[in-house]
């Protein structure tokens, strides 16, 4: 049970890194505009610096599916942490905006790895009755990471070339996460699906703290059989998706889930997170004041995420929880 909890903690490290990358960029953009006049940072260059990580994150998330299948969750998380450490160093020493954009792109790929793999690793390692609460806590860690990024940006704003520290400091949590994953076990479910049944049993015994894991192994075996049956009936890859969409219940759930994410992004929250400092500066606030005022958004974000994930989770059915947020939008 202790190892299960540790697995969840380190798995949520990916959420924190995702959040930090988002939160710190608002302050870094303000600093770059003030200090790097010789870079001639036009609006489109700033937009490219920001969006390069977002586009790369989508690529990293897509690639992570292949990596997770072939190499497992543990290796993918370590790869993401390692790439993020390298990307942090590149951003911290970038001599021009092009190299900074390259560092941001690598950073995005790494964030794609860890943001997709972290919740999966948590869900597969913790007991079923902990799975929901610990998995949704990953979202809380994202908002905490955003807040920490905002605070770091405010603290380093008075420092010359403070943006280098803002972007480079993410190497600390990414390195810690990578090192900690060295001692973390691989996913028992992934091991079983790869035919390593005895190793899967050994991992389950270790992370559960008991030798009585027969029932959980049987559940994994049943899931494995169902997966093979579904692949035999529905095919693989794109054909399997097409066949899934023919099921009315699956189609409705998928469309609903996709639309929730779509409208959340169309609300403009990401633009607010990335450009809040710049917007406030354009409104007349000084650089330091603009960065600290922007952090208020991060505080509110953490507060209401905590209420949604901890306060209401398991007290309400899932469907009522998004309604207040949708109405406020």
Quick one: pLDDT at residue 110?
Answer: 94
Q: Which two tokens stand for residue 78?
A: 């370590």
Residues 55-73 pLDDT 10s: 999 999 989 988 998 999 8
Six-digit token pair at 270?
A: 């990401």
Local structure of 41: helix, strand or coil: coil
The predicted structure's pLDDT at residue 2: 47
Q: Radius of gyration (Cα) for the chain, nearest Å?
A: 21
**CB under 8 Å to 312, separation ≥6 — which residues?**
321
Backbone angles phi, psi at 17, to 5 degrees: -65, -40
pLDDT of residue 230: 66
Q: How far apart are CA 254 and CA 245, in angstroms?
A: 8
CA 26/CA 105 separation, integer angstroms:
17
pTM over the 0.85 mark: no
Torsion of Cα atoms, 181 then 182 then 185 then 188, to 10°: 80
Residue 272 pLDDT? 81
Quick one: which H or E segment has residue 317? none
CA distance 263 to 258: 9
> Cβ neighbours of residue 283 under 8 Å, at least 6 residues apart?
none
Residue 216 has a pLDDT of 82
Distance, CA of 77 to CA of 116 (rounded, Å): 9
Tens digit of each residue's pLDDT, the chain (329 residues): 545 555 555 556 778 888 898 889 988 888 887 777 778 888 888 889 999 998 999 999 989 988 998 999 899 999 999 999 999 999 999 999 999 999 999 999 999 999 888 888 888 887 777 766 676 777 888 889 999 999 999 999 888 888 899 999 999 999 998 998 888 888 888 898 888 888 988 888 887 777 878 888 888 888 888 777 766 665 566 666 777 777 788 788 888 888 887 887 777 777 788 888 888 888 888 888 888 988 888 898 888 888 776 655 555 555 555 555 555 55
Q: According to the model, what pLDDT value does residue 139 have?
A: 82
pLDDT for 306: 81
Spatial CA neighbour of 188 closest among 167, 212, 217, 163:
217
Name the β-bridge partners of 313. Answer: 316
Task: Please give the DSSP secondary-structure letter assigned to residue 37.
Answer: G
Give, to the nearest 10 degrees, the angle between helix 214-234 and helix 237-245. Answer: 90
Q: What is the pLDDT of residue 314?
A: 53
């Amino acid at each position: 049970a202790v190892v299960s909890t540790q697995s969840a903690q380190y798995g949520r490290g990916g959420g924190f890194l995702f959040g930090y990358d988002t939160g710190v960029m608002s302050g870094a953009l303000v600093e770059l505009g003030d200090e790097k006049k010789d870079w001639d940072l036009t609006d489109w260059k700033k937009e490219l610096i920001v969006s390069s990580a977002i586009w790369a994150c989508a690529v990293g998330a897509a690639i992570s599916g292949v990596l997770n299948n072939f190499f497992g969750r543990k290796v993918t998380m370590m790869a993401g942490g390692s790439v993020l450490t390298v990307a942090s160093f590149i951003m911290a020493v970038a001599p021009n905006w092009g190299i900074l954009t390259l560092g941001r792109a690598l950073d995005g790929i790494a964030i794609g790895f860890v943001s997709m793999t972290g919740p999966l690793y948590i869900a597969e390692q913790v007991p079923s009755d902990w799975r929901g609460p610990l998995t949704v806590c990953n979202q809380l860690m994202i908002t905490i990471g955003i807040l920490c990024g905002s605070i770091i940006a405010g603290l380093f704003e008075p420092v010359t070339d403070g943006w280098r520290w803002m972007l480079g400091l993410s190497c600390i949590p990414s390195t810690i996460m990578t090192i900690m994953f060295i001692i973390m076990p691989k996913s028992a479910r992934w091991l079983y699906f790869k035919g390593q049944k005895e190793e899967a049993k050994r991992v389950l015994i270790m992370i559960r703290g008991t030798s009585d894991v027969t029932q959980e192994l049987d559940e994994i075996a049943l899931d494995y059989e169902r997966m093979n049956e579904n692949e035999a009936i529905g095919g693989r890859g794109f054909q399997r998706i097409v066949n899934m969409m023919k099921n009315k219940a699956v189609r409705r759930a998928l469309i609903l889930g996709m639309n929730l994410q779509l409208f959340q992004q169309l609300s403009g929250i990401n633009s607010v997170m990335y450009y809040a400092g710049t917007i406030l500066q354009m409104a007349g606030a000084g650089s330091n004041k603009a960065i600290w005022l922007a952090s208020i958004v991060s505080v509110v974000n953490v507060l209401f995420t905590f209420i949604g994930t901890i306060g209401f989770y398991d007290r309400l059915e899932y469907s009522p929880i998004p309604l207040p947020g949708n109405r406020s939008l």
